[in-house]
Amino acid sequence: MKDEKEPLEQKQNSEEEEYSFLQEIIKDEAGDQAKWKHDVLRRIQLGLIFGLVACFTFFACKPWVEKRFEENPTEVTIPQDEQQEEEQTQQEEEQVQEQKTVLTTETYQEMLNNLKQVSGEVRKSVVEIQGAVTEEEFSKDQEDKEKSISGMIVADNGQELLILAGELPVKDAKIIRVTFSGDSQCDAILKSRDAGLGLCVYAVQRKNIADDVWAQIETATLGGSKVVSEGDTVIAVGKLYGCDTIAGYGVIESGENYLDKADGQYQTIYTDVAGDISGSGVLVNIRGEVIGIINTSVRTDDQTNKISGYGISDIKDVIELLSNGKNVPYLGVSGVEVSSEMQGQGIPQGVYVKEVDAGSPAMAAGIQSGDIITNIADTDIINLLGYHNTLMKQNVGDKILVRGKRQGTGGEYVDIDFGVTVGYKQ
């Protein structure tokens, strides 16, 4: 009996083990609902906390992000003149001159209307710039139009609207404001300055310019000044008499003269357009392209009552540097190209140093009048244009090697090297 009972018990135990994984569970529906509500509330709380943290982080980082983007605007590039385009423009102008047109009252009036239309479009690119030391002085001087100058909208870097102009009549101005077409005003800053040419770039934050003002302004179109010639029609737009912005019409008297400055020569354009010695603005051709920047330093003694300025082609590289907030490289050498006649007299090819600015990097390096500069930063120099273009490719603060020749006591020229640190005109 005992043996029969043991197999039976083993069988029962085996069945219990076989079905031991099956257990009855009674679900508490009320408890599940409470747990579900608790989870939902917990998620809502976490969402609120996350949102608050995100908002706090956004507002905390916003100034840094805005500053980071403002520090990295789009680089401004000013296209240089291309010889092919200049030749094409010259051919077109010669063809126009060959077409003889009988001038009548009607055609003369039509020509004036066309010029007025061109000047009207150019005005969208011309602004008025005023500076003052204090807000009180600014309010007082706002009625004094002679304490402001005309500027040209030259570029938009995505963060700032950039304006090329001369130096403000008020020195060390702390407050600078730009008046756009339609009398809308915005605060501006002096972005960069070249004391050598008396040119500045002022910047207005794009975010401060209203949409209706954007619809009334345009970036100026830069043309080429190397193709202008005596008798060409010219339009002057700006504060020609130092007061209100107006347009004057006339012809070019000369576009072949050059003004000697440190480290280069710059084309000057003289016109018969009447204007005051304090006049400012731009010179444009009949297509509305800027060919010159009015500047008082360009005038000669017999040009005191006429508008003149720098030819745009020779200052495009300067405009590009200033528009990007960079200083214009400066050595301080006034020179002249050694001509073939001079070479025939035994003077080496290169740039003959006529004068060295006092306190300039060139003087600090030991460059003297009478030296011949033949190489700058491993680039051979054969004329003043090559000297200028090579210098413009350097950065302020760079230490470069300037090679040259100096006449010895026996009359022969010997090699001489100068270590020069590129500076800028202050």
| Residue 296 sits in the same domain as residue 339 | no
Residue 182 belongs to some domain of the structure: yes
Number of domains within the chain: 3
Which of 304, 323, 342 is the last residue before a domain boundary?
323
- Residue 128: half-sphere exposure toward Cβ, Cα within 13 Å: 22
Q: What is the model's pLDDT at position 40?
A: 64
| Residue 313 sits in the same domain as residue 342 | no
Which of 185, 214, 243 is the last residue before a domain boundary?
214
Q: What is the model's pLDDT at position 199?
A: 96
Residue 46 belongs to some domain of the structure: no
Residue 380 belongs to some domain of the structure: yes
| Residue 193 sits in the same domain as residue 246 | no
| Residue 107 sits in the same domain as residue 209 | yes
Residue 219 belongs to some domain of the structure: no
| Residue 290 sits in the same domain as residue 349 | no
Q: What is the model's pLDDT at position 182?
A: 78
Sign of the dihedral defined by the CA atoms of residues 341, 347, 348, 352, in that order: negative
| Residue 304 sits in the same domain as residue 342 | no
Kindly write down the DSSP assignment for every residue of 372-420, as one continuous string: EEEEETTEE--SHHHHHHHHHTS-TT-EEEEEEEEE-TTS-EEEEEEEE
239 Cβ contact list (under 8 Å, min separation 6): 128, 145, 148, 149, 150, 245, 246, 278, 279, 280, 281
Sign of the dihedral defined by the CA atoms of residues 256, 260, 263, 266, in that order: negative
Bridge partner residues of 156 (DSSP): 161
Q: What is the model's pLDDT at position 32?
A: 59
- Measured distance CA(180)–CA(303) in Å, rounded: 30
Here the CATH number for the domain that contains residue 377 is 2.30.42.10
Local structure of residue 222 (DSSP, 8 states): B
Using 70 as the pLDDT threshold, list the residues of the chain that sit under it.
1-38, 40, 47, 51, 53-71, 82-103, 141-146
| Residue 333 sits in the same domain as residue 318 | no
| Residue 318 sits in the same domain as residue 361 | no
| Residue 115 sits in the same domain as residue 160 | yes
| Residue 124 sits in the same domain as residue 205 | yes
| Residue 334 sits in the same domain as residue 315 | no
Residue 23 belongs to some domain of the structure: no
Q: Distances from the Cα of 201 to the Cαs of 163, 184, 285, 387, in angstroms?
A: 5, 20, 23, 25
Here the CATH number for the domain that contains residue 281 is 2.40.10.10
pTM recorded for the entire structure: 0.79
**For residue 257, what are the domain limits?**
233-323
- Measured distance CA(261)–CA(334) in Å, rounded: 6
Residue 373 belongs to some domain of the structure: yes
| Residue 355 sits in the same domain as residue 270 | no
Residue 185 belongs to some domain of the structure: yes
Residue 38 belongs to some domain of the structure: no
